[in-house]
């Protein structure tokens, strides 16, 4: 696929996704004044951007049907709404919204996969629980707002490189998600809205987990062994380094450590994928 073809295919969707996400962030900053309310804007902004990008890519709702991969957008809506509610709750109750979100997204995804439904539901649900535990110290901490975006940007680039050559639908969704992570990296440096970024880290991780799960269903074993997706899905757990008090007090070192751990987890996925990938059509 040529570069010009790739730009023509992905450019409009990425542009719509970034524009809507940035618009929601800007509107939330202007309208809401309390810090907790501004934190709540970020997951909704990212969800809106992802849904808009998806709609542009796949002509939603005109071409909607019950294919498994198309339910990713429903998971994005559920995750965006529940994570927004969670950010509005007192910190000690936020985990309740997270648990409901994890159960809802796991059921939405797992029930669509009729073959080994229980396996995929349990794998996604277990992965989301680990993600939420890893992200807990990062959530709503404005000092650590750069920890998750850089890490998820790297995870997204790796996922696009591994998936898009063989499974175009998932590759394009990973690309939109990665673009939103890149927007979050940039927003973290903008003083007026930078603190809002701290409220959005869980959303990209959740959608990354859903995409990894459904991509595994389509690509194992014909393209890659299952271990590629285990390692790929483990990479966002790098955010868990924020549990270390010494790192949590040093935001930049925490961001570097999280990215390094995620990178170390991505290496086996890349190596295994390279050694097992089928020949690409030229």
- Provide DSSP, 71-94: GHHHHHHHHHHHHHHHHHS-HHHH
The backbone torsions φ and ψ at residue 109, rounded to the nearest 5 degrees and listed phi first, read: -80, -50
Query: Is residue 255 assigned to a domain?
Result: yes
State the pLDDT at residue 101.
95
pLDDT at residue 31, as a whole number: 86
Q: What's the pLDDT score for residue 281?
A: 60
Q: Is residue 210 part of a domain?
A: yes
Whether the link from the prior residue into 61 is cis, omega within 30° of 0, is yes
Check residue 60 and give its pLDDT. 84
Q: Of 134, 139, 133, nearest to 88 (Cα)? A: 139
What pLDDT score does 49 carry? 97
237 within domain boundaries: yes
Does 93 map to a domain?
yes
Q: pLDDT value at position 142?
A: 86
Residue 281 lies in a domain: no
Domain count for the chain? 1
Q: How high is the mean pLDDT in each 10-residue block of the chain (282 residues)?
A: 74 96 91 77 95 93 82 95 92 91 92 81 93 91 91 96 94 97 92 83 95 94 94 96 94 95 97 90 54
Q: Which domain holds residue 10?
A: 3-58+68-276
Calculate the dihedral angle through the C-alpha atoms of 100, 54, 70, 178, rounding to the nearest 10 degrees.
Answer: -70
Cα 234 to chain centroid distance, Å, stands at: 13
Is residue 282 domain-resident?
no
Instruction: Tell me what pLDDT residue 2 has.
Output: 64
For residue 11, tell me if it sits in a domain. Answer: yes
Note whether residue 63 is domain-resident. Answer: no
């Amino acid at each position: 696929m040529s570069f010009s073809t790739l730009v023509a295919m992905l450019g409009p969707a990425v542009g719509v996704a970034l524009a809507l996400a940035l618009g929601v962030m800007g509107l939330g900053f202007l309208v809401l004044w309390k810090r907790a309310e501004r934190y709540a804007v970020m997951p909704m902004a990212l969800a809106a951007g992802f849904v808009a990008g998806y709609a542009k890519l796949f002509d939603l709702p005109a071409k909607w049907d019950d294919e498994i991969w198309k339910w990713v957008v429903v998971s994005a809506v559920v995750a965006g709404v529940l994570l927004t509610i969670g950010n509005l709750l007192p910190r000690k109750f936020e985990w309740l919204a997270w648990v409901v979100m994890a159960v809802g997204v796991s059921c939405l995804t797992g029930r669509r996969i009729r073959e080994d439904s229980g396996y995929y539901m349990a794998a996604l649900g277990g992965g989301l629980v680990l993600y939420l535990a890893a992200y807990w110290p990062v959530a709503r901490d404005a000092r650590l707002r750069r920890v998750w975006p850089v890490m998820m940007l790297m995870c997204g680039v790796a996922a696009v490189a591994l998936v898009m050559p063989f499974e175009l639908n998932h590759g394009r969704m990973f690309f939109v998600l990665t673009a939103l992570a890149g927007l979050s990296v940039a927003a973290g440096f903008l003083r007026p809205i930078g603190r809002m970024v701290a409220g959005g880290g869980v959303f990209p991780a959740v959608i990354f987990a859903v995409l990894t799960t459904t991509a595994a269903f389509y690509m194992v074993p014909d393209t890659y062994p299952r271990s590629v997706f285990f390692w790929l899905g483990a990479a966002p757990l790098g955010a868990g380094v924020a549990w270390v008090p010494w790192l949590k007090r040093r935001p930049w070192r925490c961001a570097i450590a999280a990215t390094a751990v995620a990178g170390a987890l991505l290496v086996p996925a890349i190596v295994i994928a390279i050694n097992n990938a089928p020949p690409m059509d030229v």
